Amino acid sequence: MSPLEIFAVLISLIGVGLTVIRNMWCWLFNFFAFVLYAYLFYEFKLYGETILQFFFMVVNFYGFYYWLKGKQQDHDIRIKPIAPKVAIFQMIIAAVGGLLFGLILKNFTDAAVPMLDSQLAAFSLLATYWTSRKHIATWILWVFVDIIYVGMFIYKDLFLTAVLYAAFVLIAAYGWYQWEKVKRNSF
């Protein structure tokens, strides 16, 4: 447990907590968390997670813009549904992308757990995209992804990060509850 991991965990908790309450500051804290974790994951040879942090940075700017645009139009950040067919299609794309990425990591790097790392990266990217689009389904996906992350981080001796992701499971469940409550009150 390094000071870097401790700081990254704290910044991540703040960022995700702000996302749950739909606060625009979430994007700034999440960006800093991505930078910190990119470095940490690189040190632990979790290259899929390292690369994912850079994708998160890009999607972070998109999410900030999308939320800001919506806030300017609606004076509130509105939650939007996703059609089940669209969700399933996007999940298939994520699984195939994760598989291809995993094969690259497995054959061309010394990645610690290439196939698991790549699938988690792909589905995390999808969940982040869903967050930027304000789909409630993001929280459901995060619950499942974060549960698997806990196991991977324990395996890699990143125990504090494993605890963080266990907390993320609870936060995602709470986020799901909160966004459902907001959605019900909006209609």
Phi/psi class of residue 45: alpha, beta or left (left: φ > 0; alpha: ψ in -120 to 50)? left
- Tens of pLDDT, residue by residue over 148-180, are 999 999 999 999 999 999 999 999 999 888 888
Query: Which residue, 2, 15, 4, is CA-closest to 167?
Result: 15
Total count of domains within the chain? 1
For residue 90, give its domain range: 3-185
Buried b (16+ CB within 10 A) or exposed e, 13-45: bbbbbbbbebeeebbebbbbbbebbbebbeebb
What confidence tens digit (pLDDT) does each residue in 114-134 have?
A: 999 999 999 998 998 898 888
Global model pTM greater than 0.85: no
For residues 6 and 14, give the distance between their C-alpha atoms in angstroms, rounded to a whole number.
13
Tell me, what's the pLDDT at 74? 47
Residue 89 CB coordination number (10 Å):
11
Across all residues in the chain, what is the average pLDDT?
A: 89
Q: Please answer whether residues 82 and 133 qualify as being in contact, where contact means their C-beta atoms are separated by less than 8 angstroms.
A: yes
Helix 114-132 and helix 84-108, axial crossing angle in degrees, nearest 10: 140
Q: What digits encode the pLDDT tens for the residues 67-91?
A: 887 765 544 556 778 999 999 999 9
For the chain, how long is the longest CA-to-CA vector?
Answer: 51
Percent of the chain with pLDDT over 70: 95
Candidates 168, 153, 139; CA nearest to 1 is 153
Task: Give the CA angle between residues 58, 41, 51 to the nearest 5°.
Answer: 35
Mean pLDDT of 39-45: 93
Name 12's Cβ contacts closer than 8 Å, sequence gap at least 6: 29, 30, 33, 37, 164, 168
DSSP state of 77: -
The CA–CA distances, whole Å, from 114 to 40, 104, 108, 157 equal 17, 8, 10, 16
